[in-house]
Amino acid sequence: LQFTEEKLGQAEKTELDAHFENLLARADCTKNWTEKILRQTEVLLQPNPSARVEEFLYEKLDRKVPSRVTNGELLAQYMTEAANDFGPGTPYGRTLIKVGETQRRLGAAEREFIRSASISFLTPLRNFLEGDWRTISKERRILQNRRLDLDACKARLKKAKAAEAKAAVTP
């Protein structure tokens, strides 16, 4: 009732401290940017949306995500197979083997980068959103409910004083 009356402009609202309001605004800003950065980093690390959904489901089910072959590793595999078909002794075959080995190392480095970025960068962001932000939201709701209770009590007290003053004036 108090919340509705405040929204309709029929009840007074106790304002929070300006410094506290500033902290709440900063917390909201931090949450929004953290979500955006987390999503975009996930897109960068895994551009395939269906693979991201699959990884998300594995994570939520507390299962180990199966390791994927990176595009560089797949290209290396194709080059090595092609080199074997052409013959490792031919100039084209030797070149494919060298380039394939380099691609394999690049693919392995990419896999390590993705693993490292996930552990060192994405995990703290998720921990903030799933831990700290939930706590902040819960405490914010509790504070809002307490403020509404306070304002409702103030309104009842004001009405009681007005009724008392009216009763005192009229004999």
Assigned token pair, 147: 């403020």
Contact 88, 94 (CB under 8 A): yes
Distance of CA 46 to the CA centre of its chain: 16
Q: What is the pLDDT of residue 24?
A: 94
Q: What is the pLDDT of residue 14?
A: 75
This model's pTM is above 0.75: no
Has residue 168 been placed in a domain? no
Has residue 97 been placed in a domain? yes
Q: What is the pLDDT of residue 47?
A: 85
Has residue 121 been placed in a domain? yes
Secondary structure class of 14 (helix, strand, coil)? coil
Has residue 160 been placed in a domain? no
Q: What is the pLDDT of residue 84?
A: 94
| Residue at token pair 């949450």 | 31
Assigned token pair, 121: 């960068």
Has residue 156 been placed in a domain? no
Has residue 158 been placed in a domain? no
Q: How many domains does the chain have?
A: 1
Q: What is the pLDDT of residue 56?
A: 79
List all residues 6 or more positions away from 6 whose beta carbon is below 8 Å from its beta carbon: 12, 13, 148, 151
22-39 pLDDT tens trace: 999 999 999 999 999 999
**Domain CATH for 93:** 1.20.1270.60
pLDDT < 50 regions, the chain? none
| Residue at token pair 């309001």 | 21
Contact 2, 147 (CB under 8 A): no
Residue 27 belongs to domain spanning: 15-147
Contact 14, 151 (CB under 8 A): yes
71-100 pLDDT tens trace: 899 999 999 999 999 999 999 999 999 999
Closest residue by Cα to residue 148 from 23, 9, 11, 25: 11
Has residue 171 been placed in a domain? no
